[in-house]
A = this chain, B = another copy of it.
Amino acid sequence: MSEISRNGVGDGGQAGRIGIGLELDDVHLKILEVLRENGRISVAALAERVGISRANAYTRFEALRADGAIKRFTAEIDHVRAGLGITALIFVTVRQQMWKQFRAELARMPQVEYCAITTGQHDAMIQVRVSDVAEVHTMVTDRLANIPAVKATETVFILDEVLRRPYVLPSDRARPARRPAQETQGEVPLGKMRFVGASEGRATLRKEG
């Protein structure tokens, strides 16, 4: 139910300022690294693992929280054990200028775990978790189809979740500089690698919601 940060594709090129507030240094990143693996670690143990004093750890911990770099702490739950063995992705085409309504309806659907607005053929992708396949059908034909904002949907099932990392951090990609790209440029069938941009009028969608 929480609004989360925007991934401005438009302003991403400039990069530069990481946050309006806190400037994250290596120590901050290391704290985040530890915390995403073990969200329940004590600040004392955190300080030791990062190699700073307890007082410093408390200060930085609070700063990261206050700044919003850490949004919240959560338990990762095994949805299958919790009785929600079915996961589906529903790609939604949304009628323009009806995003506010769409978002409001989403908030009222507890089965929805994630929703992102995307470029490409569809306008949004939502991930739902339910107990059986019939419920997916009910959701799509009963709930989504009744939202005027929804023009069309396409549903696929998730057969297996191969990989889930708590959160990717910049420090993860400690690659030795940028790799020379020409080693592959010649032999790779680039034609099979499609990038799908937004359809017309989508650039303004974010402002409406």
Residues in chain A within 8 A of chain B (CB atoms): 1-9, 11-13, 15, 18-19, 22, 24, 29, 32, 35-40, 67-87, 89, 103, 106-107, 110-121, 124-126, 128-129, 131-133, 137-138, 140-142, 144-146, 151-170, 172-173, 178-179, 181, 184-185, 188-190, 192-198, 202, 205-206, 209
Contacts and interface: CB of A to CB of B under 8 A. Distances in A.
A164 to B, nearest CB: 5
B15 A141 contact: no
B73 A69 contact: no
A195 B137 contact: yes
14 contacts: A6-B80, A6-B160, A7-B79, A18-B82, A32-B77, A39-B75, A79-B167, A84-B168, A103-B163, A106-B162, A117-B162, A141-B185, A141-B188, A162-B209
Contacts of A72: 37-39, 75-76, 166
- Counted per complex, copies of this chain come to 2
A165 B77 contact: no
A97 to B, nearest CB: 16
A66 to B, nearest CB: 12
Given A116-B162, A138-B178, A138-B179, 11 more contacts: A9-B158, A12-B133, A22-B81, A32-B82, A69-B78, A70-B78, A73-B73, A121-B156, A131-B170, A140-B195, A159-B206
A138 B164 CA distance: 22
